[in-house]
Each structure stands twice: as structure tokens, then as C-alpha cells.
């Protein structure tokens, strides 16, 4: 049993390289650049859903309770 554990440990050491505690580059500038590239506006279907919800609330006021329940 001890022999099996040592064999598995040796195989794992060969297969897995040790983890590097320091990243090879700074990731924060890439994150900021990605956030700057993202478009600010919402797609058209988001506005359509908002309009549908507003129309439903205007036509059926009891729909507000159903909406509040599901949120």
C-alpha cells in the first residue's frame, strides 16, 4: 500500500509542474482595457422587455404583485 502511494506521488510530480507563486505578467491593465472596450448601451430586446413590463403594469395593476413576487 505504501509502495502504491509513493508510485502515485512520483507520477503526479512528473505530470504536474510546480505552481508559480508570481504571475508572469500584470493582469490589471488588460482588465481595464477590456472594460473600456465594452459597449455601454443595452441591446434593443432589453428595451422591448422593459416596455412590455411597463405596458402590462399599466393594463393590469395586479401584475405588479406578480412581478414583485418573482423578483
Transcribe the chain into DSSP letters: -HHHHHHHHHHHHHHSPPPPSS-SS--HHHHHHHHHHS--SPPHHHHHHHHHHHHHHHH-TTHHHHHHHH-
Q: Which three cell numbers stand for residue 29?
A: 491593465
Task: For the chain, give the mean pLDDT.
Answer: 85
Residue 51 reports pLDDT greater than 90: yes
Whole-number percent of the chain with pLDDT over 90: 21
For range 4-14, the mean pLDDT: 88
Average pLDDT for 28-54: 88
| Distance from C-alpha of 31 to C-alpha of 28, rounded to nearest angstrom | 5
User: Residue 13: pLDDT band by 50, 70, 90 thresholds?
Assistant: confident
- Give me the residue spans of the domains in the chain: 43-71
Q: Name which of 41, 59, 57 is nearest 71 in CA terms.
A: 57
**What's the whole-model pTM score?**
0.43
Amino acid at each position: 500500500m505504501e509502495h502504491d502511494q509513493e508510485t502515485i506521488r512520483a507520477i503526479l510530480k512528473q505530470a504536474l509542474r510546480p505552481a508559480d507563486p508570481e504571475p508572469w505578467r500584470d493582469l490589471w491593465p488588460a482588465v481595464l482595457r477590456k472594460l473600456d472596450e465594452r459597449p455601454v448601451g443595452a441591446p434593443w430586446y432589453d428595451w422591448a422587455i422593459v416596455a412590455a413590463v411597463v405596458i402590462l403594469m399599466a393594463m393590469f395593476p395586479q401584475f405588479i404583485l406578480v412581478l414583485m413576487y418573482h423578483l
